[in-house]
Amino acid sequence: MASSSTSKGVKSSKEGDLNEAEIYAKFNSLRLEQRRIAENLSSLENQQSEHKIVLNVLKDLDGDRKCFRMVGEILVERTVKEVYPILTATLTQLGTVVERVNEQLLKKGVEINEFTKKHNIGFRPQEFPASAESSNESGTKKESRNVMVNPI
């Protein structure tokens, strides 16, 4: 009889029944993965914009002019005509990688949304001290405060 109760426990875990702590941990791990993908995407986009800036500068220069390029941790001396095609190829590759990582980020967002719907996860609005003060503004004392909000 003890063996039948343990087999039932295994069945319930295979069916996807998770307790609140497991759901919370899984949700946090999904959000952490999403943040890491977003950070990676941001880094790749920064590299892409840096490559564009360098290519814009190099296109107006003489092809025989010396330029320096970092390869790993080594600074290599080349000419503009040697480096320009390499940088354009790298920029193209970065573009495809950025597209793939962006797709991964979108898929992870969809996965998180499906997980929140499946497990009925809601977000509670956070109360900040400023919101408590604004509710008290109906009294006689009114103070004007400037609030700075970063656009998304």
The closest alpha carbon to 60, from 86, 80, 89, belongs to 80
* pLDDT of 132: 52
Identify the CATH class of 19-120: mainly alpha
* pLDDT of 121: 83
The β-bridge partners of 77 are 68
* pLDDT of 6: 43
* pLDDT of 7: 41
* Residue found by looking up tokens 């008290």 in the block: 136
Residues of the chain with pLDDT under 50: 1-15, 144, 146-150, 152
